[in-house]
Amino acid sequence: MEYYIIDAFAEDIFGGNPAGVCVSEKELPAELMQKIASENNLPETAFLVKCGEKYCLRWFTPLFEIDLCGHATLAAAFVVMNFVEPDLNVVCFNTASGELSVSRSGGLYEMRFPERVPEKIEATSEIIEALGIVPNEVYSERDLFAVLESEKEVRSFVPNYKKLEKLNKWLGISVSAKGEKADFVSRFFCPELKSEDPVTGSAHCSLVPIWEEKLGKTVLEAEQLSERGGKLNCKHEDGFVIISGKAVLYLKGEIFLLK
């Protein structure tokens, strides 16, 4: 099976967020995909199978399957449009979150994702205790979103994964603030994996509506302040969040599933 590692939301290798992309001739059992993702031990491994004119796409962390992943979708589109069907400039994926399309313009890959407008909730004592900081505001969707006072606070935030694990109603924990150069900045933490995600495209399906309302802009420049870092060009329109970024090939090889 063809296998690629792509650094997504990056202009150079070792930047952005790495994703594995497996290109299979037929859909694999979920148990096998999970074993491969665990063996790869990357933030996400994407599994691609051609389905008519489209591709079926699934995403797995080393521990579980998730319903939406931005950087691995960008990586999958990069693989399709550069190695599998290089004449394509638009690719459509059938996923657990519906049909997703990615278009290529120059070196940018533009993903059209469904918006996930979060609900503003109370910053409870449990949330404050887990974060170790009093946020300005808190929002809830698939993930928990804490708005902090400044970019400096986002940069200096230190996660306590043992405490964050108690917020198990949400998949991930995001902290964000108005940016000094970008419109807004963020960081994203995965308590179950006890790690910080380098660049989280799917979280921006909720972050963009939050910051659109705050800044009065539908076109936003976002930056994720992880160690590897990443920049995302975002736009909110007609119920969709459009996220653009670059990607670069790190590895191309084969996975051998032989008995």
Structural tokens at position 7: 């650094």
What number of other Cβ atoms are within 10 A of residue 202's Cβ? 29
CA dihedral 152, 158, 163, 165 (to 10 degrees): 90
* Tokens read off for 180: 């000094």
Write 23-29 long-range contacts (CB < 8 A, 24+): 23/48, 23/79, 23/84, 24/48, 24/49, 25/49, 27/56
Contacts of 41 (CB under 8 A, 6+ apart): 62
- Give start and end residues of each alpha helix (H) in the chain: 30-40, 70-79, 125-131, 151-156, 161-164, 204-215
The Cβ-side half-sphere exposure at 34, using a 13 Å CA radius, reads 7
Report how far residue 249's alpha carbon sits from residue 235's, in angstroms, rounded to the nearest whole number. Answer: 26
What are the catalytic residues? 44
Contact indicator for 23, 51 with CB cutoff of 8 Å: no
